[in-house]
Amino acid sequence: MSAYKLSFLITALLFTQIAFANEVITPLPVNPIYDKKKAAVGKILFFDPILSLDRSTSCNSCHDLAAGGADKKEVSIGIDGLKGNIQSPTVLNARYNFKQFWNGRAETLLEQANGPIHNPKEMGLNSLEVEKRINASHKYKTLFSNYHDGPISYLMILEAIVEFEKALVTPNSKFDRYLRGEIQLTELEYAGYQTFKTLGCITCHNGMNIGGNSFQKMGMIIPYIHKEDYPDLYSLTKKDYHKNVFKVPTLRNIALLAPYFHDASAKTLEEAVKIMSKLNLGYIISEQQIKELVAFLNTLTGETPEILD
C-alpha cells in the first residue's frame, strides 16, 4: 500500500471517530455578507455575453443558475462552439471553497473569474477589450455610477462578478435546519446521515460546504481511468501521485447537479454513491444503504439565493 493510500485511510479512520463525537458539518450562514451595490452590477455581468469574443457565451452559460449553478452538459461549450475538457462545477456557495477550479489553480474567486474570460476555449477576450466594451456601454456606465465615478477598469468588472458570486449562498437546507435543532430528519434521512459517517464519506465531505476544502484522489482504493488532458492536480505538478487528484466537490444542492464527477460519468445520485463507495472507500454498498445515502443527500438542497429572487 502506498504512503498516500495509507495516509488517506488513517485520516478516514480519525474523521470517522471524530464524527461520532462532534458534528464536522456546519450550517451555511443565513445572511451572507457582501456588497449589494457591486453584486447588483455583477449579476447583470454574469448573464451578459458581452464578456465573450463572439458575444455568444456568458458566465451563466457554463454555470447555469437555473440548474444549480453548474452545467448539465458533460463539458461546457464556449466561443465558436469549442468544447472544454471537464464538467463545470457549481458556482453556488463557491465562496466557501478553499480553492477554485477542479485542480485548485485559483486561490480566490477573483482569480477564478479572470480565468474563463481569457480562456481561448471559453470566452476568449483580453482585459483591454473587456474594458473597452464596458466603458462604451451606457447601461454599464450608469450601473457602475451607483458606487463609482470615472472609467471602469477590468479589475472593477471582475470585482463586481465576484461580489455577485459571494451572494450565491443557499442557506436553510433541511439538513442545516436539523443541525440548528429546528427540525428532525425522517428515519431514512437520519439513517443516511449515519451511513454517511460510518462508511467514511464524511472524511472528504465535511465543513461548511460539505466538501470544497481539500484535495483527494478519485480511485483511492480502486484505480480510476486517467486522461492526460484532465485539469487535475497532476496537470499543475506533473507528479504521478497527483493523477486524478481533484478538489473535493461540495455536496450542497447535489440533488440538482447531475451529471456527477469531473467527467460527468455518473448520471444519477444512486450511481454516484455506488461508484464512489467502491472506488474511494472500498465498499460494495447495499441497495438499502444507497436509498439511505440518497435520502440524506436530498436534504442538502438549500434555498434560492436572495439575490436571484
207 pairs with which residues across the strands?
none
List the Cα angle 46/67/309 in 5-degree steps: 65
Show the domains of the chain with their CATH numbers: 3-29+170-308 (1.10.760.10), 36-166 (1.10.760.10)
184-209 pLDDT tens trace: 999 999 999 999 999 999 999 999 99
Are the C-beta atoms of residues 262 and 104 closer than 8 Å to each other?
A: no
110-152 pLDDT tens trace: 999 999 999 999 999 999 999 999 999 999 999 999 999 999 9
What values do phi and psi take at 56, rounded to 5? -110, -15
In this predicted structure, the answer to whether residue 9 has a pLDDT above a threshold of 80 is no
12-30 pLDDT tens trace: 444 444 443 468 999 999 9
Nearest to 249 by CA among 22, 92, 32: 92
**CA–CA separation, 57 vs 53, rounded Å?**
8
pLDDT recorded at residue 97: 98
pLDDT recorded at residue 22: 67
Are the C-beta atoms of residues 159 and 285 closer than 8 Å to each other?
A: no
206-263 pLDDT tens trace: 999 999 999 999 999 999 999 999 999 999 999 999 999 999 999 999 999 999 999 9
**CA–CA separation, 75 vs 84, rounded Å?**
5
**CA–CA separation, 294 vs 306, rounded Å?**
27
List the Cα angle 84/89/94 in 5-degree steps: 135
- To the query of whether residue 306 is one of the catalytic residues in this protein, the response is no
215 pairs with which residues across the strands?
247
Q: What is the pLDDT of the chain when averaged over all its residues?
A: 93
Burial 42-57 (b: 16+ CB within 10 A, else e): bbebbebbbbbbeeeb
pLDDT recorded at residue 258: 97
- For 38, what's the count of Cα atoms within 13 Å in the CB-facing half-sphere? 18
- Say which residues have a Cβ less than 8 Å from residue 296's Cβ, sequence separation at least 6: 175, 185, 189, 190, 191, 192, 193, 195, 196
Which spans in 24-137 are helix H? 36-46, 59-62, 109-118, 127-135
- For 32, what's the count of Cα atoms within 13 Å in the CB-facing half-sphere? 27
- Residue tagged active-site, from 122, 163, 189, 292: 122
Q: Look-up: residue for cell 435520502?
A: 295
**CA–CA separation, 255 vs 59, rounded Å?**
22
What the block records as the C-alpha cell of 253 is: 444542492
Are the C-beta atoms of residues 244 and 218 closer than 8 Å to each other?
A: yes
